[in-house]
Amino acid sequence: MIEKYFAISDRGSTIRKEVVAGFTTFLAMSYIIFVNPDILANAGMDPGSVFVATCLSAAIGTLIMGLYANFPIAIAPGMGLNAFFTYGVVLGMGIPWQAALMAVFLSGVLFVIISVLPIREWVINSIPLELKLSISAGIGLFLIMIGLTSVGIVVDNPATLVGLGDLSATPALLAIFCFILIVVLEARNVPGGILLGMLTITIAGVLLGVSEPSAIVSAPPSIEPTLFALDWTQMLEIGLVVIVISFLFVDLFDTAGTLVAVAHRAGLLDQKGHVIGLRKALLADSTATMVGAVVGTSSATSYVESIAGVKAGGRTGLTAVVVAGLFLCALFFAPLAGAIQTYATGPALVFVGCVMVGGLASVDWDDMTAFVPAVITAVAMPLTYSIATGIGLGFVAYAALKLGAGKWKQLSPSVAVLAILFLLKFIFLDG
């Protein structure tokens, strides 16, 4: 029955390969279980509740991806999106996390509408490749900044804005060793390299007395502090409308890019290079975002780490079903999540950020009207501490340079409209 439902043989796989692939994918992305509560706790959210919300949103979204879309892709709260939620929206704009959760929910609703209607390809294709790549790279630089500041390697400096912290401090030293260990493990293609690096350095921290040992297994914490905590009262404010659009853009492009990359590796592209069953996959992703907002976490998205499972032989939704089951099992490891400190999560952020910055390599560096907006987008995010601002400046710069260089035919109507809206926001709302 399982064989027939997932068409395992037709895709050149076996049940054993699918199960192994599921474990491989989970190990590659399970760091989010520990990192996400740590980041959202800075927004004032209960870390135990966020831990449960992270596991539930990942399990439900991934299960839908497996059973409905039959894709070997896992879903969980996205890195970068959680940083935008905490540092850009809640701390940066002073918006309560309850209202931010509503913005996440509404972005999921818009994502569903785009996925159902035949405009999804138009929306995805109308945004220039340079801006898509730069948004991902900018989020990567943003994560690097957050990771370095969280462990005291980058600190405030009244004279130069930022400066180098005390590298002799034990947390900083542990963070440096953790980062090196993660890079080495990932370079050697060790399954779950990020997770293994985090756990290893956490044990080292306990042995050195930096953190207190705790239990590993327990009953899941209460989800009550974040469950159905969405706040509708501020939804008509212009600032939150921009936030909703920003959440939508980042999630949409991340998902689309991941789907193409994983589908290519899994042989799930048609003769025209289009993802087979794209609509179902997008619906699974957008549904996970709405579920995540309801239970209490930032936007969920498809994980590129799913490629690890595909490399292990995963070709069907059974791989995703296995991942979903493992996320449910992870609910009982909340004490372990609480034991992992910033000197372990910070290096993970820096590594993921480095990987995301690599997307800039595909930018057309021979076209000044392409690479300049890309650089502005990427650099503006960490310098302004706002993903939304980086996106807005990128759109404005792209439109202005294309028009100024006489390349207006390369400017799509959607980009032009968005550029005007962002420009008006900068002039009248941020002035």
As a residue count, the chain comes to 431
- Token pair listed for 278: 């794209």
Do 303 and 33 form a contact (C-beta atoms < 8 A)?
no
Distance (Å, rounded) from C-alpha 356 to C-alpha 34? 20
Distance (Å, rounded) from C-alpha 134 to C-alpha 136? 5
Give the pLDDT of the chain (431 residues) as one tens digit per residue. Answer: 888 899 999 888 999 999 999 999 999 999 999 999 999 999 999 999 999 999 999 999 999 999 999 999 999 999 889 998 999 899 988 899 999 999 999 999 999 998 888 777 677 667 788 888 888 888 889 989 999 999 999 999 888 888 999 999 998 999 999 999 999 999 998 888 998 999 999 999 988 888 776 677 889 999 999 999 999 887 666 667 888 988 988 888 778 778 877 887 788 877 766 778 888 999 999 999 999 999 999 999 999 889 889 988 899 999 999 999 999 999 998 888 778 889 999 999 999 989 889 889 889 999 999 999 999 999 998 998 888 788 889 999 999 999 999 998 888 888 898 899 889 888 876 65
Do 265 and 311 form a contact (C-beta atoms < 8 A)?
yes
Distance (Å, rounded) from C-alpha 246 to C-alpha 357? 19
- Token pair listed for 330: 């992870």
Distance (Å, rounded) from C-alpha 349 to C-alpha 163? 19
pTM: predicted TM-score of the whole model, two decimal places: 0.85
Residue identified by tokens 């509503």 is 102
- Token pair listed for 45: 């959210």
- For residue 418, what pLDDT is reported? 83
- For residue 370, what pLDDT is reported? 92
Strand bridging mode 300-302 / 161-164: unpaired
Do 72 and 21 form a contact (C-beta atoms < 8 A)?
yes
DSSP state of 59: H
- For residue 429, what pLDDT is reported? 65
- For residue 136, what pLDDT is reported? 83
CA distances 348 to 113, 159, 250, 353, 428, Å, are 34, 29, 20, 8, 38
